[in-house]
Amino acid sequence: MIEINDGVTRCAETARRMVDLIATTGYELSGALTTLWGSYCTDDVELSEFLEAPPGTGYERMLSVAAPLVAVGTSHLIPVASTVFVPAVLRTFATRFRVGVRGPDYVSGTYRGRVRLTDLSATTAQVAEMDVIVDL
């Protein structure tokens, strides 16, 4: 009878350790995920509606700022470093993208600016520019 009780006790102890391990791992994982997702959530990117770029030449095109975004009717300007594009590179023949601003310190409104589209071809890096008007 002593052997059966020892076996039950060992089994119960093993089960308790497994539950502790699962709970601890779940807790640590939830903290890691919260930290990871929190960094994305606090990044505050305000995106415009989709814009249409002129058709490309058959190559991927990188988007960049040709002229900073300036609020219409003011001199308020969004620094180039705070301007983002989604996607940052237009795939071959893609034309739709969004302009965004990163950070919490910008005034909502209508902005005008200029976007540069640079072909990512190894032979000819053609550049096109387009004026944009976005509501952020």
Q: What is the dihedral of CA 35, 40, 42, 45, to 10 degrees?
A: 180
pLDDT given at position 44: 78
Q: First-to-last CA distance in the chain? A: 76
Domains of the chain: which residue ranges?
1-42, 45-135
Q: What is the mean pLDDT of residues 100-107?
A: 84
Question: Which CATH number fits the domain 45-135, given the four candidates 2.60.40, 3.30.2390, 3.10.580, 1.10.287?
Answer: 2.60.40
> 30-87 pLDDT, tens per residue?
444 444 444 444 467 889 999 999 988 788 999 999 999 999 999 899 999 999 999 9
Query: What number of other Cβ atoms are within 10 A of residue 105's Cβ?
Result: 8
Residue 89 backbone phi and psi in degrees, to 5: -130, 125
- pTM for the full predicted model: 0.65
Mean pLDDT of the chain, nearest integer? 80
CA distance 71 to 113: 9
